[in-house]
Amino acid sequence: MSFPGWTHTRASKARLSKAYARSTSAPNGTNPAARTARRGGTAFLGVHNARKETVVPDTFEPTNDSRDRIRLARELAGRCPAELGEEIAVTGSAARGLADRASDVEIICWLPEVPDVESRSRWLARTGATSIKAYDWEDFDGTSWITCNYQETWVEIGWNAPDRIDAIVDDLLAARRSGHDSLQIASMLCAAEPLRTAGRLAGWQERLARYPPGLQSLVIARNTEVWSDLHVPMVRWTLAARRSLFPLTLRLTWDMQNVWAILHAINERWEPDYKWTSSQALDLPLIPDKFSVRLNSVFMLDDTERSVGAAFELILDTLALVPPPHDVSAARVSIERAQRRSGP
């Protein structure tokens, strides 16, 4: 379910898989559209060194918990009548191969007209699902959700019309959208595993297999403009000195969301959500050194001023990776001045 700021992209690189395998096992990269990092059959992956690329085989497997959840999703999709889902896919951590024992299952059904809530709820009740809860709001992309518990696993099932997805994909490829929510739709689609298909999902994945020209500059500009105002980063110091943790954490979160967006634009990757940042960061060829450790350190607020300093350093290292002709000098100068606590 896509609460604000949630969607998915497959972490298809072997390095990511290898890192996650320390505690579970690893995702694969079998989804053709998810292999946006491939150039001529070579897998490019982030190795926690800015501007470093490593070539490794793409042969790692999804976690056992992912397999279990995909099997459950296939069973549920098999019991779904055609009038409730013409195209069905599993998304989320299970589709990426990253699910663990605490993960739920996310399924999306597409058909021209979204069925009424009563029809969807009755079907789930017939499957033996319990704790069925229908939401009276729609996602950014128009998806309508129901959550339930099926075979002792929490499941989120969304319904949407494919024409709505077509419009979003059209806008993304024409660089008419550059916001986080829209980019996450592309990420989710590229990660999705079909459960029932007439080819619609594969069509979206094929269209999204290449990052569109012009989008990189829009995303970079959108997420760096705020830093060019010196007052914005200086407020972080003020809040740190006051130990106003709630507003400080909000602003540091916004900063790190901007960093996340910029890094994916630099690498021409569809931006995923923030749920698995440590794992998904390993999918990026160009990334600041020790990114995940440094990102987490920003939110260890025992020393608020140290947290602000860590955020500024990570922002500057991210801006240093922005390629020409993108001009981020105003943002860089502003952050550098704030880092030194100097005025304009």
Domain ranges for the chain, please list them: 14-207, 215-340
Determine the pLDDT at residue 342. Answer: 61
For the ranges 45-49, 108-112, 183-187, 332-336, which has the lowest average pLDDT? 45-49
In the chain, what percentage of residues exceed pLDDT 70? 82
Extract the runs of DSSP E, i.e. beta strands, from the chain.
38-39, 42-43, 87-91, 105-110, 130-138, 144-150, 153-160, 193-196
pLDDT digits (tens, 9 = 90+) for 45-64: 233 344 433 333 355 589 99
| Dihedral, CA of residue 268, residue 271, residue 276 and residue 281, to nearest 10 | 20
- Looking at residue 57, its pLDDT comes to 39
**pTM assigned to the model:** 0.83
* Nearest alpha-carbon partner for 69 in 199, 202, 195: 195
CATH topology (fold) of 14-207: Beta Polymerase; domain 2 (3.30.460)
Q: What is the pLDDT of residue 344?
A: 57
DSSP line for 262-290: HHHHHTT-----STTHHHHGGG-SS--TT
275 CB neighbour count, 10 Å cutoff: 16
pLDDT at 283: 86
Model pLDDT for residues 26-50, shown as the tens digit of each residue: 323 333 333 332 222 222 223 334 4
Name the helix (H) or strand (E) containing 185: helix 180-191
Answer yes or no: are the C-beta atoms of 107 and 158 closer than 8 Å: yes
The mean pLDDT of the chain is: 85
For 80-121, the DSSP string reads: S-GGG-SEEEEEHHHHHT---TT--EEEEEE-SSPPPHHHHH
Paired tokens of 296: 């987490």
pLDDT at position 301: 86
Higher-confidence residue of 11 and 285: namely 285
215-340 shares the fold of 14-207: no
Confidence of residue 211 (pLDDT cuts 50, 70, 90): very high
3-state SS assignment for residue 57: coil
Local confidence band at 145 (pLDDT 50, 70, 90 cut-offs): very high
Beta-sheet pairing, 87-91 with 144-150: unpaired
Predicted local distance difference test score (pLDDT) of residue 39: 24
The first and second tokens of residue 184, run together, are 């996450």
* Collapsed DSSP state (helix, strand, coil) of residue 38: strand
115 within 8 A of 159, measured Cβ to Cβ: yes
Task: Answer whether 314's CB lies under 8 Å from 295's CB.
Answer: yes
* pLDDT at residue 42, rounded to an integer: 24
Give the tokens for residue 127: 């499957």
Overall fold of domain 215-340? Four Helix Bundle (Hemerythrin (Met), subunit A) (1.20.120)
Give yes or no for a contact between 190 and 10, defined as CB atoms under 8 angstroms apart.
yes
Cα–Cα distance measured from residue 231 to residue 235, given in angstroms and rounded to the nearest whole number = 6
Say if residue 17's pLDDT is above 60. Answer: no
CB distance 284 to 47 below 8 Å:
no
Residue 78 has pLDDT above 90, yes or no: yes
pLDDT reading at 97 higher than 90: yes
- Which of the two residues, 271 and 59, has the higher pLDDT score? 271
Cα separation, 163 vs 209, in Å, equals 19
pLDDT at 59: 52
Cis upstream peptide for 325 (omega within 30°): yes
